[in-house]
Amino acid sequence: MCRLVAVKSTTPIQLAHLLTRPRHSIINQAFDSRLRLDLRRPINGDGFGVGWYDSVEDEELGSQPCIFKSITPAWNNANLTRIAEKIKSPLVFGHVRATTAGSLSQDNCHPWSFGKIMFMHNGGIAEFEKIKRTLQASLTDEIFLVPQGNTDSEWAFALYLSKLPDVHASNFSPEILRKAMLETIAHLNKMARDAGIREPSLLNFIVTDGSTIVASRYVSSRTDEAASLYFSSGTTFNEYAPGGHYRMSKSDKRENIIMIASEPLTFEKADWMEIKTNTLVDEHPPDSNYR
């Protein structure tokens, strides 16, 4: 099962502090995961992806995220290490992949983007082959052409895009992003019921428009366990001891940095809160009127 992390900060943060330096970063989780459900595939060596937004909007560069992917194991990619040391961003997605559906290719590595929207998934859509044609038929011609790979996750992204009122909008309110997430999960559940699928789907989705982050921890079952998902926030995220020992410092009530991750990036239990099963969480700009 995949490992992922989403980070939003009021000031740009160096990617190395999130991806490569922490002792339990998602790169180290790729071969030393503590909380994964699927123990049959204990190594996340099927590629990785990192997506980030520019610190300052540049009209020439556009507002879309930049995404770097590779099919090599994340822990053995020198380019990732170099990039992480030289790039700062206020909003970062990181993902290491263990295949459950789809071939080993860059197209199948998370995250994916369309315009300003970026999306990644941990889990799997149960018996996806039984609902794939139905899902595809529900999409417009434009959205149908978005997926370039063959994973259930990327088609879930396409379905999410189809739930946005205007996929080309320059701005998305937290309400719109949240509503699209709920409708995507509901649509997947309906297709599963109609197809007679009883195996549960694990739908830990995370989406952003570069400003708001919306994440789900969801399993389509009343008895099965959902894939793990944790939340942390504070004023600073810093290395307090050599060897990649990080902690989330909370000097006041401000949330200068928030993290959502498959499992904690630090060994400080007080830093992290487990997100409840079948819960939707979001982090949005303080000037938003969403509650």
Distance between CA atoms of residues 282 and 289, nearest Å: 13
**Which H/E stretch holds residue 14?**
strand 3-14
Contact predicate 195/130, CB 8 Å: yes
Contact predicate 204/226, CB 8 Å: yes
Beta bridge partners of 70: 48
Distance between CA atoms of residues 279 and 107, nearest Å: 29
Spell out the residues 6+ positions from residue 282 whose beta carbon is closer than 8 angstroms to its own: 174, 177, 178, 212, 213, 214, 215, 290
Q: Length of the chain, please?
A: 291
Contact predicate 31/43, CB 8 Å: yes
**Which ranges constitute the DSSP H helices of the chain?**
16-19, 26-32, 78-86, 132-137, 141-144, 152-162, 174-194
Asked whether the bond before 111 is cis by omega within 30 degrees of 0, the reply is: yes
Instruction: Report which DSSP code applies to 151.
Output: -
Q: Distance from CA of residue 36 to its chain's centroid?
A: 16
- As given in the structure block, the two tokens for residue 214 are 């919306």
Active site members: 2
